[in-house]
Amino acid sequence: MKALLVTHGTRGDVQPMLALAVALREAGHHALLAAPASFAPAARDNGVEFAALDEGPNRLMDDPVVRRAVDGGYRGLRGKITALRTAGRIKPLMADVLRDLGPVARASGADVVVHTPSVPAQHVAELLGVPAVLATFQPGWVPTSAFPCPMVPLPRLPRFLNRTTYLTVSATLRAFAGIVEKWRVRDLGLPRRKGEHDLLHGPDGRDRWVLQAFSPAASPVAPDWPASVHTTGFWYLPSGPWTPPARLSEFLAAGPPPVYVGFGSMAGRDAERTGRTVVDAVRAAGVRAVLATGWGGIDAAASPDVLVIDQAPHDWLFPRMAAVVHHGGGGTTAAALAAGVPQVVCPFVADQPYWASRMHALGVAPRPVRQQRLDADTLAAAITTALTLRSRAADVAHVVRAEPGTGEAVRLLEELLEPRLSTMDQSAV
């Protein structure tokens, strides 16, 4: 099997696909990962063939207007105007990503295209005449009447309206239909057709396979999802060798397990204020802390009870922590669950409030602390509560780590492609 894996975004969007590429390789298949160029070193370190795509919308991560909008700094009419302007700026950047994808796909010789919703790679699958498989890292892409769309911040609605909430996601994707249409026709040479932008159905109208790369123990499986939807468990990248810097090793050895605090690629309005809030909170809670500045920008000074780092592999660091304070991204949530440590989730946007509520419902985290309401007293209280949840976190970790994840994803892709590959083998005889 030759699989073309396509994704775009930040670490949480790329690392699970990198994990799938590793699993495919270990199963004897060939995988090519197409992702933002900045992830080339990670692919190289894991022995995965890589095709660089333009950084595209990632270029806006350091934009102060976008940062403030993500953080909820713009509300009401101004917030809506900012959102529209941001979408307008994303479109040409996304066109650069699509421009790079066409040649990669043509040269790939792929038997299947596996892609995240962030890139409409179902079009290159159609060009190649191969199946397109959607990979999702949170529920919200496949409609259900069981619960409302987790990625849409709506008030509680009657159950009969649940399915309609998923139209919001479809509408968001269709905002890019214009640039995708031009790319499809001009670059790929494909004709316009009805339903060409539908992520969930192929040109023949049949359900596309969807691989949901999250744990059914962490998020409910809807009974009315079609048989084409498979929830595999989280896709964890195998741990590689990593030598921590001396100051991190020394800090961990100098006292009881600290609390990790990091907000990934999310950005607060004021990095210095966030840093002060976090430092005051961990001291009020009477704990030591490792603060990861990362891409999101927590700005704080180191002290005897607070170590400031850029980043460290979650699978190495989290098991050594007393608790993990994070933004609720799917990847960080999955890593904290696997580590068996309690969490404090401080969500910003998108699927983060959903994962925050799910961690609380699972009993591995206190009530979410929204970033817009983050203060030292509230965060200190949440950390204190989280430290009492370690036993429950360990129980959930046992379940999550036992799930097949990438192994199940590989098995399903083999099952999907078995008739096609068998036909090709017979033709070659």
The CATH number of the domain where 326 resides is what?
Answer: 3.40.50.2000
Which residue type occupies 206?
R
Same domain, 184 and 76: yes
Q: Is residue 151 helix, strand or coil?
A: coil
Give one word for 283, left, alpha or beta, with left for phi > 0 and alpha for psi -120 to 50: alpha
∠409-168-150 over CA atoms, to 5°? 55
Same domain, 78 and 106: yes
Same domain, 421 and 347: no
pLDDT for the residue 422: 65
- 273-291 in b/e form (b: 16+ CB < 10 A) is ebbbbbbebbbebebbbbb
Which of 23-32, 67-76, 223-232 has the lowest average pLDDT?
A: 67-76
Domain count, the chain: 2
- Of residues 133 and 425, more confidence is placed in 133
pLDDT at 77 over 50: no
Tens digits of per-residue pLDDT, 6-60?
999 988 899 999 999 999 999 999 999 999 999 999 999 999 999 999 999 988 8
Q: Residue 312 in contact with residue 292, Cβ under 8 Å?
A: yes
**pTM of the complete model:** 0.91
In angstroms, the Cα distances linking 303 to 46, 49, 399 are 35, 42, 37
| Percent of the chain scoring above 90 in pLDDT | 73
Same domain, 410 and 329: no
Q: Are strands 112-115 and 289-292 parallel, antiparallel or unpaired?
A: unpaired
pLDDT for the residue 264: 75
pLDDT band at 81 (very low <50, low <70, confident <90, very high): very low
* Mean pLDDT over each residue of the chain, to the nearest integer: 90
- Asked if residue 73 belongs to a domain, the reply is yes
Taking alpha carbons only, the member of 169, 102, 222, 147 closest to residue 350 is 169
Provide the token pair at 308.
Answer: 């400031």
Same domain, 380 and 423: no
pLDDT for the residue 70: 52
Same domain, 82 and 135: yes
- Asked if residue 342 belongs to a domain, the reply is yes
- Asked if residue 56 belongs to a domain, the reply is yes
Q: Is residue 271 helix, strand or coil?
A: helix
Same domain, 228 and 279: no
CA 404 to chain centre: 18
Same domain, 295 and 220: no
- 77-105 in b/e form (b: 16+ CB < 10 A) is eeeeebeeebeebbeebbbbbbebbbebb
- Asked if residue 241 belongs to a domain, the reply is no
pLDDT band at 424 (very low <50, low <70, confident <90, very high): low
pLDDT for the residue 321: 98
pLDDT at 232 over 90: yes
User: The dihedral of CA 338, 14, 106, 142: what is its sign?
Assistant: positive
Q: Residue 338 in contact with residue 234, Cβ under 8 Å?
A: yes
pLDDT band at 306 (very low <50, low <70, confident <90, very high): very high
Same domain, 26 and 149: yes
pLDDT for the residue 252: 97
- Cα 296 from Cα 283, distance rounded (Å): 22
Taking alpha carbons only, the member of 282, 268, 231 closest to residue 373 is 268
Same domain, 259 and 209: no
pLDDT for the residue 64: 57
pLDDT for the residue 268: 55
Spatial neighbors of 107 by CB under 8 A, at least 6 apart, are none
- Cα 164 from Cα 301, distance rounded (Å): 48
Same domain, 52 and 180: yes
Tens digits of per-residue pLDDT, 164-199?
999 888 888 888 899 999 999 999 999 999 999 999
- Cα 106 from Cα 55, distance rounded (Å): 20
Mean pLDDT of 227-247: 95
Tens digits of per-residue pLDDT, 241-289?
899 999 999 999 999 999 999 987 665 557 788 888 999 999 999 999 9
- Show the domain range for 68: 2-235+405-428
Determine whether 338 is exposed, middle or buried from the number of CB atoms within 10 Å of its CB (0-12, 13-18, 19+).
buried
- Asked if residue 253 belongs to a domain, the reply is yes
- Asked if residue 303 belongs to a domain, the reply is yes
pLDDT for the residue 298: 73
Q: Phi first, then psi: what are they for 59, rounded to 5°?
A: -65, -20
Q: Is residue 187 helix, strand or coil?
A: helix
Same domain, 394 and 409: no
Q: DSSP secondary structure string, 193-259?
A: -TTTT-SSB-TTSPBPPEEE-S-TTTSPPPTTS-TTEEE----PPPP------HHHHHHHHTSS--E
- Asked if residue 294 belongs to a domain, the reply is yes
CA 396 to chain centre: 20
- Asked if residue 12 belongs to a domain, the reply is yes
pLDDT for the residue 80: 43
Mean pLDDT of 327-355: 94
pLDDT band at 295 (very low <50, low <70, confident <90, very high): low
